[in-house]
Amino acid sequence: MPVISHRGAMMPPSPIRKLVPFADAAKKRGTKVYHLNIGQPDIVTPESILDAVRHTDMKVLEYSPSAGFDSYRKKLVEYYKRNNIDVTAGQIIVTTGGSEAITFAIMSCLDPGDEIIIPEPFYANYNGFSTSSGVKVVPIPSSIETGFALPAIEAFEKAVTPQTKAIMICNPNNPTGYLYSAKELNVLKEICLKHDLFLFSDEAYREFCYDGHKHISALSIPGLEEHAIVLDTISKRYSACGGRIGAFVTKNQQVLDAAMKFAQARLSPPTFAQILGEAAVDLPANYFDEVHAEYTNRRDVLVKRLNAIPGVKCPNPGGAFYAMAQLPVENSENFCQWLLEEFAHNGATVMMAPAAGFYATPGKGRNEVRLAYVLNTEDINGAMDCLEAALKVYKN
Same domain (yes/no): 295, 234: no
Q: Are residues 247 and 349 in the same domain?
A: no
* Distance separating alpha carbons of residues 356 and 255, to the nearest angstrom: 33
Region of 346 please: left (phi>0), alpha (psi -120 to 50) or beta: left
Determine, yes or no, domain membership for 59. yes
Question: Residues with Cβ < 8 Å from 55, sequence gap 6 or more?
Answer: none
**Based on the domain organization, do 145 and 183 belong to the same domain?**
yes
CA distance 134 to 109: 12
- With beta carbons less than 8 A apart as the criterion, state whether 46 and 284 touch: no
Domain boundary among 244, 259, 280: 280
Relative to beta strand 368-372, strand 322-326 is antiparallel
CA-closest candidate to residue 374, choices 287, 298, 318: 298
Same domain? For 258 and 331 the reply is no
| Whether 241 and 203 share a structural domain | yes
Q: How far apart are CA 313 and CA 311, in angstroms?
A: 7
Predicted pLDDT at 15: 72
Closest CA to 128 of 116, 145, 140: 116
**What single string gives the DSSP state of each residue in 142-194?**
--GGGTSPPPPHHHHHHH--TTEEEEEEESS-TTT-----HHHHHHHHHHHHH
Note whether 67 and 197 are same-domain residues. yes
Q: Is residue 52 part of a domain?
A: yes
Looking at the fold, whether 302 and 270 belong to one and the same domain comes out as no
CATH code of the domain in which 298 resides: 3.90.1150.10
Does residue 329 sit within a domain? Answer: yes
Q: How confident is the model at residue 267 (pLDDT cuts 50, 70, 90)?
A: very high
Of 253, 280, 307, the one marking the end of a domain is: 280
Same domain, 133 and 117: yes
Give the residue-averaged pLDDT of 319-336: 97
CA–CA separation, 168 and 201 (whole Å): 6
Shared-domain flag, residues 159 and 15 = no
The three-class DSSP label of residue 105 is helix
Q: In the prediction, which pLDDT does 13 show?
A: 80
**pLDDT tens digits, residue range 140-171?**
999 999 999 999 999 999 999 999 999 999 99
Where residue 395 falls among pLDDT bands split at 50, 70, 90? confident
- Residues 112 and 118: their CA atoms lie apart, in Å, by 17
Q: Establish if 362 belongs to a structural domain.
A: yes
Tell the burial category of 296 from Cβ atoms under 10 Å away from its Cβ (0-12, 13-18, 19+). Answer: middle
Same domain, 369 and 232: no
Contact 259, 248 (CB under 8 A): yes
Higher-pLDDT residue of 10, 93? 93
Bridge pairing between strands 164-170 and 136-141 = unpaired
Nearest CA-CA partner of 79 in 260, 249, 272, 224: 249
Residue 371 pLDDT greater than 90, yes or no: yes
- For CA atoms 48, 54, 56, 62, give the dihedral sign: positive
Q: What is the pLDDT of residue 78?
A: 98
For the CA atoms of 172, 176, 177, 182, the dihedral, rounded to the nearest 10 degrees, stands at -50
Please tell me the distance from the alpha carbon of residue 324 to that of residue 353, in angstroms, as a whole number. 10
Q: How many domains, the chain?
A: 2
pLDDT value of position 285: 87
Helix, strand, coil shares of the chain as percentages rounded to 5? 40, 15, 40
Give the domain CATH number at 226. 3.40.640.10
Give a yes or no: residue 276 inside a domain.
Answer: yes
pLDDT surpassing 80 at residue 380: yes
Q: Which residues contact 154 (CB under 8 A, 6 or more apart)?
A: none
Mean pLDDT of 82-88: 97
Mind giving me the DSSP string for 215-264? ---GGGSTT-TTTEEEEEESTTTTT-GGG--EEEEES-HHHHHHHHHHHH
Tell me, yes or no, whether 239 lies in a domain: yes
Domain annotation covers residue 295: yes
* 107 shares its domain with 240: yes
Q: Are residues 231 and 121 in the same domain?
A: yes
Q: Is the pLDDT of residue 17 over 80?
A: no
pLDDT of residue 154: 97
Tell me the per-residue pLDDT of 329-348, one tens digit each, with 9 for 90 and over.
Answer: 999 999 999 999 999 999 99
pLDDT band at 12 (very low <50, low <70, confident <90, very high): confident
Boundary residue ending a domain (222, 250, 280): 280
- Domain with 378, as residue range(s), is 6-44+287-395
Does residue 1 lie within any of the structural domains? no
